[in-house]
Amino acid sequence: MTAADIRAALSIDQLALRTGVPVEALRRHEDRGLIHARGRSPAGRRLFDEDTVWRVEIIRSLLAMGLSEAEIRRLGLANASCGKMIGPELATLLRCVQDHTRTRMRRLAHSSQEISYPHGRRRVRLAAVS
């Protein structure tokens, strides 16, 4: 890195402030290959560029959508190899997350109904416990 690159670069603390992602999470992202330091400062600290800010925001969005770090890494590797488009793979992953979320919601709604409106023998058992 040139001196100008170092001046323009962000430390991991600055990256955390810019993105709102804790330093520990950023280190984990780097360890898992989701982001990469562009170099090191003369003191040996990791340095990141503006592109990393964008990557961290994308990672945060994908995590919020329910993708795992491993799935996000696979998407990144697919994109890096021969410029493969990640759109179809991402769409498939998001459909799986959506299906899983809908299933969980149905189960939670059923559990909520069981708690709110106990029927038959369940009601008697619950009344005996209270």
Domain coordinates in residue numbering, the chain: 1-64, 68-130
- Distance of alpha carbon 14 from alpha carbon 92, whole angstroms: 34
Query: What is the band of 23 on the pLDDT scale with cuts at 50, 70, 90?
Result: very high
pTM of the model: 0.63
Query: What pLDDT, on a 0 to 100 scale, did the predictor assign at position 106?
Result: 92
Tell me: pLDDT of 13 over 70.
Answer: yes
Q: CATH number of the domain at 1-64, please? A: 1.10.1660.10
Note the pLDDT of residue 17: 95
> For residue 2, what pLDDT is reported?
58
For residue 10, what pLDDT is reported?
Answer: 93
Q: How confident is the model at residue 126 (pLDDT cuts 50, 70, 90)?
A: low
